[in-house]
Structure 1
Amino acid sequence: MTGKDLRIVFMGTPDFAVASLKALVEGGYNIVGVITAPDKPAGRGRQLQQSAVKQYAVAQNLKVLQPEKLKNPEFIAALEALKADLQVVVAFRMLPEVVWRMPRLGTFNLHGSLLPQYRGAAPLNWAVINGEKETGVTTFLLSHEIDTGAILFREKITIGDNDNVGDIHDRLMDIGARLVVKTVDALGEGRYTTVEQDEIQAGNLKPAPKIFKEDCKIDWEKPAEEVRNLIRGLSPYPAAWTELVDGKGKLMSLKIFKAEIEPNEGLAPGTLETDGKNSFKIAAKDGWLVISDLQLSGKKRMSTADFLRGVHEPETFKLP
Structure 2
Amino acid sequence: MKNLKDLQIVFMGTPEFAVASLDKLVQAGCNIVGVITAPDKPGGRGMELQQSDVKKYAVQHGLNVLQPEKLKNPEFLETLKALHADVQVVVAFRMLPEVVWNMPPMGTINVHGSLLPQYRGAAPINWAIINGEKETGVTTFKLQQEIDTGNILMQQSLAVGEDESVGEVHDRMKIAGADLLLKTMEALVAGNITEQVQDSTESSESEKAAAEKLLKHAPKIFTETCLINWAKPLEDVYNLIRGLSPYPAAFTFLDGKKMKVYKAVKIFTTPSIKPGEFETDKKTFLQFACTDGYISIKELQLEGKKKMTVEDFLRGYRWPA
TM-score, normalised relative to structure 1 = 0.94
Q: Which residue of 1 aligns with 2:276?
A: 270
Separation of aligned partners in 1, 2:119 and 2:56: 29
Equivalent residue for 1:223? 233
Residue 269 of structure 1 aligns to which amino acid in structure 2? P
Corresponding position of 2:251: 241
Deviations 1:82-108 (A, max 9, x none): 000000000000100010111110001
In structure 1, what is the Cα distance between the partners aligned to 2:75 and 2:188? 29
Q: What does residue 15 of structure 2 align with? A: 14
Matches of 2:121 and 2:112, distance apart in 1: 9
Q: How does 1:243-258 map to 2 (within 5 A)?
A: 243-245=253-255, 251-258=256-263
Compute the TM-score of the two structures, normalised by the length of structure 2.
0.94
User: Residue 287 of structure 2 corresponds to which residue in structure 1?
Assistant: 281
Partner of 1:248: none
Tell me what 1:78 maps to: 79
Aligned to 2:34: 33
Q: Distance in 2 between matches of 1:256 and 1:302?
A: 10
Work out the CA distance in 1 between the residues paired with 2:228 and 2:277.
13
Gaps in structure 1 of 5+ consecutive residues: 246-250
**Structure 2 unaligned regions, length at least 5:** 201-207
1:187 Cα deviation after fit: 1.5
1:261 equivalent in structure 2: 266
1:197 aligned counterpart, secondary structure: coil
Pick one of 216, 232, 240 that aligns with 1:206: 216
2:124 aligned with 1:119: no
Q: Distance in 2 between matches of 1:263 and 1:129?
A: 19
* Separation in 1, partners of 2:74, 2:113: 31
The answer to whether the 8 Å contact 1:133/1:158 transfers is yes
Q: Which residue of 1 aligns with 2:140?
A: 139
Kindly, what percent of the aligned residue pairs are identical?
61
Deviation of the 1:194 alpha carbon: 0.6
Amino acid in the other structure paired with 1:4 = K
Question: What's the CA shift string for 1:13-68, capped at 9, x where partnerless?
Answer: 00000000001111100000000000000012110000000000011110000000
Q: Which amino acid aligns with 2:96?
A: L
Write the distance in 2 (CA, Å) between the matches of 1:133 and 1:238.
22
Distance 2:316 2:3 in 1: 60
Q: Distance in 1 between matches of 2:213 and 2:145?
A: 23
Give the counterpart of 1:306 among 309, 312, 316. 312
* Contact 1:135–1:159 (8 Å) recurs in 2: yes
Find the aligned partners of 1:265 and 1:214 in 2 and give their Cα distance.
27
Please tell me the root mean square deviation across aligned C-alpha atoms, in Å: 1.4
The aligned length equals 310
